[in-house]
Amino acid sequence: MGTSRALVRPASHGYDTRMPLLEGKRVLLGVGGGISAYKAPELVRRMNDAGADVRVVLTAAAQRFVAPLSLEIVSGHPVGLDLWQGSSESAPGAPRVVHTELGKDVDLIVLAPATANLIGRIRHGLADDLLTTTIMACQTPVLLCPAMNTEMLDNPLVRQNIDALVALDRYVTLEPGIGLLACGVTGPGRQPDPLDIIEAAAALLTHKSLTGLRVVVSAGPTHEPLDPVRVLANRSTGTMGFALARALAARGASVTIVAGPVEQRTPVGVARRIDVGSAAEMSDAITACWPMTDVLIMSAAVADFRPASAAPTKIKKRQQETPNITLAPTEDILLTASRRADRARVVLVGFAAETNDVLDYARQKLADKDLDGIVANDVARAGVGFGRGDNAGWLLTRDGREVALERAPKDRFADALADALTPTLLARKGTA
């Protein structure tokens, strides 16, 4: 959108319905009069799944695209429709000026879809219906989710309106998606998916304690070629690394993900993604990022060994003939980083996925690799570790801290880990 305060929308998608990113938050969803308004009930449902208490206001035009009753059912609250309506939730004998209180009663206002008309009216301070009047009568943060025809989005006047709003501290915009639009045009203008909106909302409500830090997070497995068809790999899905990247970006860090072969969507707010295959490719990517790195967090499950040589053609299965595969060690990326001449300027954090004696092995790795911190977790526990399940473990730091991290879904675990890491990272920030 041509502004530094725009949140970039990921290019790929996937959902974890257990993400409690908006737990305890109150959200006002303002729905503008665009075709994407029909997505509002699903967005409300997913916000509820994320822990939010959602109230909805529809513009007059939006009511032509989505039924107020459906939104009342999924939100559990009366839907705001008219500037002159009262509130059925007001106490008896206590009349309520709805438009002056509605925006003050919530933590965040989300406008989805934010149409060209709605954006223009807000930019020029017009207050001619319940939604715009509510926005004008409070200082609650506003997340704009522009969704409209591509030509309309590209109109210089519409762009000026968006940029003018985002230039104010109160407003943040989430980049629209690219695809086939209702008008038949393929291009930018699609409303972001619910998970993108939820992540952007959570980031907007998160204290920016790590602003200015450049963080590289590795995630996922590596694939070490055996022949043109087969690889040596492991069970990592990258879920933990991507969740941690999201949590750090939400706290203001500029985050680069170096990802092995995974099917993970890039979280909202992550600045850059580099996809790699093998351990050697991951090492090369991290080396390239090193001069611009303040913090390196190696959550990837990098292969310890690779075939000493890959067969040039597919190894055939023949009866009573089993191939002998010679293995060679891969580079220890963290150990290499710890031995760099300028290692002192970078915070190094590792992960120790163990099946026994977890803390003992983690303490040894912390010392042997000269790390600033290490996350230890017991992957032998059912439902913990690899995959989209939970995580649990400890953060151990160079200064002797050992913080227990309770079992939780990985996004919640990532937030707890980011909070536990913050003192160590802020020490780096203070010397940067």
The tens digit of pLDDT for each residue in 359-406 reads 899 999 999 999 999 999 877 777 676 666 788 899 999 999 999 999
138 included as an active-site residue: no
How far does Cα 418 stand from its chain's mean position? 13
Q: Quick one: pLDDT at residue 67?
A: 96
Closest alpha carbon to 108 in 139, 132, 57, 142: 142
Q: Quick one: pLDDT at residue 42?
A: 97
> What CATH superfamily classification does 214-431 receive?
CoaB-like (3.40.50.10300)
Contact status, residue 260 vs residue 276, Cβ threshold 8 Å: yes
Q: Quick one: pLDDT at residue 6?
A: 62
Q: Which residues of the chain have pLDDT under 70?
A: 1-19, 86-99, 319-320, 383, 385-388, 428-432
Amino acid making up residue 318: R
Q: Around Cβ 81, how many Cβ atoms within 10 Å?
A: 18
Per-domain boundaries in the chain: 6-204, 214-431
Contact status, residue 337 vs residue 296, Cβ threshold 8 Å: yes
Is 6-204's fold the same as 214-431's?
Answer: yes
Q: Which residue has the tokens 């090193």?
A: 290
6-204 folds as Rossmann fold (3.40.50)
DSSP 73-141: HHHSSPPB--TT---TTSPTT----HHHHTTTTSSEEEEEEE-HHHHHHHHTT---SHHHHHHHT----
Q: Quick one: pLDDT at residue 388?
A: 64
DSSP 250-302: HTT-EEEEEE-S---PPPTT--EEEE--SHHHHHHHHHHHGGG-SEEEE-SB-
- From CA 1, how far away is CA 176, in angstroms rounded? 9
Q: Quick one: pLDDT at residue 213?
A: 96
Pairing assessment for the beta strands 231-232 and 327-329 based on DSSP bridges: unpaired
Q: Around Cβ 182, how many Cβ atoms within 10 Å?
A: 13
Contact status, residue 43 vs residue 68, Cβ threshold 8 Å: no
- From CA 99, how far away is CA 86, in angstroms rounded? 9
What is the DSSP-derived secondary structure letter of residue 60? T
Contact status, residue 180 vs residue 1, Cβ threshold 8 Å: no
Q: What is the pTM of this model?
A: 0.88
- From CA 307, how far away is CA 312, in angstroms rounded? 12
Contact status, residue 234 vs residue 220, Cβ threshold 8 Å: no
- From CA 101, how far away is CA 98, in angstroms rounded? 5
